[in-house]
Structure 1
Amino acid sequence: MGYRETSREKSDPLSRTLIERLQLANLLVGSSVPILIGFKEAFRIGEGRVTPNAIPQWPSVSSWWKTTEKYYKNNHHRLSLTVGRQILNEGYSFGKSLSTQKIERLAAMGDPRNAINVVLTSDDVTVDGFCMSRCGTHNASPPAKKGRFAYVWVGNSASQCPGQCAWPFHQPIYGPQSPPLVSPNGDVGVDGMVMNLASLLAGTVTNPFGDGYFQGPTEAPLEAASACPGMYGKNAYPGYAGDLLVDPTTGASYNANGALGRKYLLPALFDPTTSSCSTLV
């Protein structure tokens, strides 16, 4: 597979069947394409900072992230991300109805170069295309002398479309109506955001400017995570997220341990070394 200009990945769960994924997955890996090295993430709208004080037990978020490093094996560089500064825009300075252009302006409030600026919108904010065609997206600023940044936007779907953007923690709006799983952090909207943010970060670092690793049409490319839709554990199929870990105390389903005892559900990633979708459990 070569590379071409693309409008970046949209996070739209269950938008493609497993058959489509299997047919296209082996075409995802390219060679000598630009990918993101040494960038940092800057959370634009979020809650406080968390500093890990203990190494999470396996399976961990860091072990999930290692799959993205396999895309860098020919670049002789190690992928390095650090958390940047955070900005809370609680005054809704751009309003509660955001266009794509306003998302770009919010992202531009972050670091202007060598950064992934992350925009997180609360459940009372509407965004063009949110719930109708996407749960989030990633893109990049235009090339400029001062540098360039990538950005990710993810919305909280709790009050708008949890069946589309927070599945499997809410019943889907279509397809098999299996009972929803218990979310690991007790917040369906936020746990859905974690899943979508993880998917889009993986897509960003492997295809930040549209000429990296992807397959399919430029309007809706398959990237590292979107090549494996709706897949979170082994034996997954449409309507079933896969065989997951279950917290014996809360009954919550998860597949990754994070800092301070947090648990998360993270999407499968396409593994370029095996040409298959890889899950933590």
Structure 2
Amino acid sequence: MFSLMKMLVFLGLVQLCLGERRLTALVQQPPLVLTYHKGALLQGDLLVNVVWYGHFTAVQRSIVGDFIASLSQKGKEKSPAVSSWWELTEEYSAKAGRPSTTNVLLGKQVVDEKCSLGKSLKRTQIKDLAAKAVAFNGITLVLTSKDVAVEGFCMSSCGLHDSAPLAKGLKEKFAYIWVGNSETQCPGQCAWPFHQPLYGPQTPPLVAPNGDVGVDGMIINIASLLAGTVTNPFGNGYFQGAATAPMEAASACPGMYGKNAYPGYAGDLLVDSASGASYNANGVNGRKYLLPALWNPKTSACSTLV
């Protein structure tokens, strides 16, 4: 029983500040109802600018780039498709009386391989990095490499989304996301189910669909935080609970990737016959990804692709 409780703690990922992929205390999950707080939602053509902080290989960058490109490639991927997963975020706009498509486009990329701010970052420095690639109508994505330590990383979170003024003195804000590569720091926390969990039954980990435990784990966190950012970009969109510690589109469905999921089991997933990798979504260029369940405003329940 104690091991099961630890596993539930591990899987209890919620989003804070505005949103944060985080491990929280064990509580009984309340009914899944994400309330709309009448604030802005991100819609239309959204640029995602990327800041690569630290060393990433060309292959690692292509895994992330292909994922972002897959989000709005309707009809160009095999089913189940990444774009079908992303379409669910448009239901939030429809429910708010603002029907609109949300097309995600890969914008400019800034490479800071020499780590200009050092390899031990404070949370406030993430905002400074994001400011290097402000997306005026979109999202800035800051990704830190496996040898970069970020305040709170592993101990409390795997990533976050927040916002900051476009310039000093302006009310207008831009949204940004940070996600770290947990390969060498805490894969059991931030790259599960591609690594054995920190707590609970030590069942064999799943094979990562792109052969990179750290980056495939990052994709899960990027996907979760992208959904949270679009549906709650400035802290007054869709969420449940306190605005300072909100439960959002993906964090409302922790540890769920396929049907029949339960604590410690990601669900019934597709398996690639050649590599043995587990996945639930197809992307461009033959990519395969594992994406988190999202809360469905139509059904008030968590939805998965498989």
What TM-score does the superposition give when structure 2 sets the normalisation length?
Answer: 0.83
Task: State how 1:1-281 maps to structure 2 within 5 Å.
Answer: 7-12=17-22, 15=24, 20=29, 23-25=30-32, 27-30=33-36, 32-38=38-44, 39-45=46-52, 47=61, 50=66, 55-73=76-94, 74-111=97-134, 113-142=136-165, 145=170, 147-281=172-306
1:41 and 1:151 map into 2 onto residues whose CA distance is 9
In structure 1, what is the Cα distance between the partners aligned to 2:39 and 2:144? 32
In the alignment, the residues of structure 1 paired with residue 27 and residue 287 of structure 2 have an alpha-carbon distance, to the nearest angstrom, of: 30
> Residue 39 of structure 2 contacts residue 234 of structure 2 at CA under 8 Å; is this kept in 1?
no
Deviations 1:63-88 (A, max 9, x none): 00011000011113322221110011
Structure 1 segments (4+ residues) deviating >6 Å: 51-54
Note the C-alpha offset of 1:127.
0.1
Counterpart in the other structure of 1:3: none
Would the alpha carbon gap of residues 221 and 205 (structure 1) be closer, same or farther in structure 2, given more than 3 Å must change? same
- Is the 2:38–2:236 Cα contact (8 Å) retained in structure 1? no
1:117 maps to a residue whose letter is T
Write the letter of the residue equivalent to 1:43.
Answer: V
CA RMSD of aligned residues (A): 2.1
Q: CA deviation at 1:18?
A: 9.5
Unpaired stretches in structure 2, ≥5 consecutive residues = 1-15
Higher strand share: 2
Question: Secondary structure of the residue that 1:190 maps to in structure 2?
Answer: helix
Matches of 2:234 and 2:37, distance apart in 1: 16
Pair 83,146 (structure 1): closer, same or farther in 2 beyond 3 Å: farther
The size of the alignment, in residue pairs, is 272
Q: Determine if contact 1:12/1:164 at 8 Å carries over to the other structure.
A: no
Q: Distance in 1 between matches of 2:26 and 2:270?
A: 24
* Partner Cα separation in structure 1 for residue 26 and residue 303 of structure 2: 17
Q: Distance in 2 between matches of 1:18 and 1:252?
A: 32
Q: How far 1:24 sits from its partner (Å)?
A: 3.2
Q: Distance in 1 between matches of 2:150 and 2:85?
A: 29
TM-score with structure 1 setting the length: 0.91
Q: In 2, Cα distance between the equivalents of 1:84 and 1:208? A: 18
- TM-aligned CA deviation for residue 175 of structure 1: 1.9
Compare the two structures and name the one with the higher helix fraction: 2
Name structure 1 gaps, 5 residues minimum. Answer: 1-5
Q: Structure 1 residues 16 and 237, CA, compared in 2 at 3 Å: closer, same or farther?
A: farther
Secondary structure (helix, strand or coil) at the match of 1:149 reads: strand
Give the drift of 1:31: 6.0
Structure 1 residues 63 and 112: CA distance shift in structure 2, 3 A:
closer
Aligned equivalents of 2:192 and 2:98: distance in 1?
Answer: 36
CA contact (8 A) 2:191 2:218 kept: yes
CA distance in 2 between partners of 1:234 and 1:180 (Å): 18
Q: Which amino acid aligns with 2:140?
A: N
Q: 1:16: Cα distance to partner? A: 6.9
Residue 17 of structure 2 contacts residue 160 of structure 2 at CA under 8 Å; is this kept in 1? no
- Residues 113, 146 of structure 1: 8 Å contact kept: no
User: Which amino acid counterpart does residue 225 of structure 1 have in structure 2?
Assistant: A
